[in-house]
Structure 1
Amino acid sequence: MEWLWSPFEVAFVQRALWAGVLVSCVCAFAGTWVVLRGMAFLGDAMSHGMLPGVATASLLGANLLLGAAISAAVMALGVTALSRSPRLSQDTSIGLLFVGMLSLGVIIVSRSQSFAVDLTGYLFGDVLAVRQQDLVQLTLALAVAALLALLGHRAFVALAFDPRKARTLGLRPALAHAALIALVTLAIVASFRVVGALLVFGLLIAPPAAVLPWARRITTIMLGAALVGSLSTFLGLLLSWHLGIAAGATVAAVAVLLFLLSTALAAVRERRTTPASARTPRSSPGSADSPQTVSRTEVETV
């Protein structure tokens, strides 16, 4: 069994494992709501919307995490402002900002002659280069994400299942939506250094989507997503070490494979327990109808 533990005797692999566990926990808080509310496009757009800030910070020699945070905040504010327009759907607003921010980032990158390496790190991350300072930042991000999820839980539940009820209860759904976008932004900014902007989407979506068919409560989905994400990190780093392949991409790929395995097992279970005459098409985990798979007691307790 030495092959199972020997990679984690190395200090930088240990830091990578801890970073992946912390990122998995942060993404579990945000990703659960992304999956339940069908906000996958927003998560994808937010991860790419950080490029202008990262590119500018790189050219100026500033902190890349700060640049990513500023750019993501601009993206979040833009989505929140444009989504209030009655003439534009939320998908249209997100799509326009997505293209605009990505184009601006590419323009800034084109002004640099030495940004290729930094761009690769931005897109795909470098989990094996995580420092002790990064672990401290991820721990702080986890604390903030947990606080946001705890304070906003009641409003988030009502907003996910019945926005009209949220308004009736005085929970201010517009403010709750803005807080939810802030939570997603925090998760993406905190995670991009570990797995990169392209791959953070995997840890944000795949773990909660894998747990969704097996859980009946939102808190259970969050806990399960954190465990699935942590397992993906462990297995991804293990495979990366022994096969000599990219660590961040392997972690994200394992997360997606676990989702596919969970979906297949859930389908087998459903076929065995449900009579053929009673079977009805189920919505996918990322669709707008997916909250129906969670117990309605979540809404009744709001």
Structure 2
Amino acid sequence: MTWLLEPFATEFMVRALLGGALVSLVCAVVGTWVVVRGLAFLGEAMAHGMLPGVATAALLGAPAALGAGVAAVAMAVGVTAVSRRAKLAQDTSIGLLFVGMLALGVIIVSASRGFAVDLTAVLFGDILAITWADVGWLAVAAVVAVVFCALMHRAFVALAFDQRKAATLGLRPAFAHYALLGAVALAVVASYQAVGTLLVVGFLIAPPATAALWVRRLPSIMALAVGFGVLATVVGLLVSWHLGSAAGATIAASAIAFFAVSALVRRAV
């Protein structure tokens, strides 16, 4: 059992485990709605589309989280506005804004050569470098995400399954849509600074999708998704420790592997 316990005898691995667990909680709660509503592409686009905001914040000396939040909200509002006013399919709007935001981010980054290293951190993160301050921030974000999604649960359910009924019940589907986009932005912004956009997207989609293969009730999917996310964190950190691989990428790969195995098992039975 030494190989299992020894890595977590170090403080930085404990912080990484706690950070990964909190990211799992935030992304499981929000990601369940992303999977149910088929917004996986939007989640990925929002995560990577934060680049111009982060780059601008770095150049201005402002907090990176502030720039990321502004860019994520702009992406969410822009997708809805373009799809409605230009009468385009939502995935087309997402693709256009995704490429546009990435292009703008690269242009801004090119204005500062010294930002290249930080760009790598934004894209791939370094979960092993999580500080106790990051853990505290993730804990706050987790509480906010859980409370917010609990308060909006009825509206989100109606929005996901019957928008006309939601309007009839006075649940304001348009407001619920923007609220859900705001929850996705919260999950992405809260998590990326600690673990990078790769792991955020992986946790936002893979654990809820895996859980949905085994259970049907939304609260059960969320709870099981947290379990799969934490398990992926533990397995990824152990593999990374013993093989010397990149921790964030290994955790993301573990989450995807759990989905692949679950899909094969469910198909077999």
Task: Please give the range of the TM-score, normalised by the shorter of the 2 chains.
Answer: over 0.9
> 1:163 maps to what in 2?
163
TM-score norm. by structure 2 comes to 0.97
More moved, 74-83 vs 29-38: 74-83
Kept in 2: contact 1:26–1:141 (CA 8 A) = yes
Unaligned 5+ runs, structure 1 = 270-302
How far has the Cα of 1:233 moved from its partner? 0.5
1:241 corresponding residue in structure 2: 241
> Match of 2:232?
232
Q: Which amino acid aligns with 2:261?
A: L
Tell me, in whole angstroms, the C-alpha distance in 2 between the residues paired with 1:108 and 1:28.
Answer: 32
Kindly indicate whether the alpha-carbon contact (under 8 Å) linking 1:195 and 1:252 is maintained by their aligned counterparts in 2.
no
Relative to the length of structure 1, the TM-score reads 0.87
- 1:252 corresponds to 2:238: no
What amino acid is the match of 1:78? G
Render the CA deviation track for 1:19-56: whole Å, top value 9, x for unaligned: 00000000001110111111111111101110001111
Offset at residue 82 of structure 1 (A): 2.6
Equivalent position of 1:87 in the other structure: 87
Q: Which amino acid aligns with 2:42?
A: L
Q: Is the 8 Å Cα contact of residues 145 and 187 (structure 1) preserved in structure 2?
A: yes
CA contact (8 A) 1:123 1:199 kept: no
Amino acid paired to 2:195: V
Alignment-derived partner of residue 175 in structure 2: 175
User: Secondary structure of the equivalent of 2:84?
Assistant: coil
Q: Which runs of 5+ in 2 are unaligned?
A: none
Alpha-carbon offset, residue 234 of structure 1:
0.7
Higher mean C-alpha displacement, 47-56 vs 73-82: 73-82
Q: Equivalents in 1 of 2:222, 2:232: separation in Å?
A: 15
Question: Shift of residue 169 of structure 1?
Answer: 1.0
Coordinate RMSD, CA, aligned: 1.2
% identical aligned pairs: 61
The residue identity in structure 1 corresponding to 2:186 is L
Q: Give the distance between the partners of 1:208 and 1:97, measured in 2 at CA.
A: 25
Conserved? CA contact 1:83–1:93, under 8 Å:
yes
Aligned to 1:73: 73
8 A contact 2:198–2:249 mirrored in 1: no
Q: Is the 8 A contact 1:195 1:249 kept in 2?
A: no
Give the secondary-structure state (helix, strand or coil) at the position aligned to 1:171: coil
Match of 2:122 in 1: 122
Q: Which has the larger radius of gyration?
A: 1
The question of 1:222 aligning with 2:222 is answered yes
- The whole-number CA distance in structure 2 between the counterparts of 1:134 and 1:207 is 22
In terms of fraction of residues, the more helix-rich structure is 2
Q: Aligned partners of 2:88 and 2:260: how far apart in 1? A: 34
Note if 1:191 corresponds to 2:191. Answer: yes
Q: Distance in 2 between matches of 1:143 and 1:252?
A: 23
SS at match of 1:114: helix
Residue 216 of structure 1: SS of its match in structure 2? coil
- 1:4 matched to 2:22: no
Q: Deviations over 1:147-200 (max 9, x none)?
A: 111011001111111111111111111100100111111111111123311332
C-alpha separation between the residues in 2 aligned to 1:148 and 1:97? 27
Tell me how many residue pairs correspond in the alignment.
269
| Aligned-pair CA distance for 1:86 | 6.3
Q: How many Å apart are 1:85 and its aligned residue?
A: 2.4
Residue 232 of structure 2 aligns with an amino acid whose one-letter code is: S
The amino acid of 2:96's aligned partner reads: L
8 Å CA contact 1:194–1:248 kept in 2: the answer is no
Measure the CA separation in 2 of the matches of 1:242 and 1:116.
29
**Structure 1 residues 55-64 or 219-228, which shifts more?**
55-64
Aligned equivalent of 2:21: 21
**Corresponding residue of 2:152:** 152
Distance between the aligned counterparts of 1:128 and 1:111, measured in 2?
A: 29
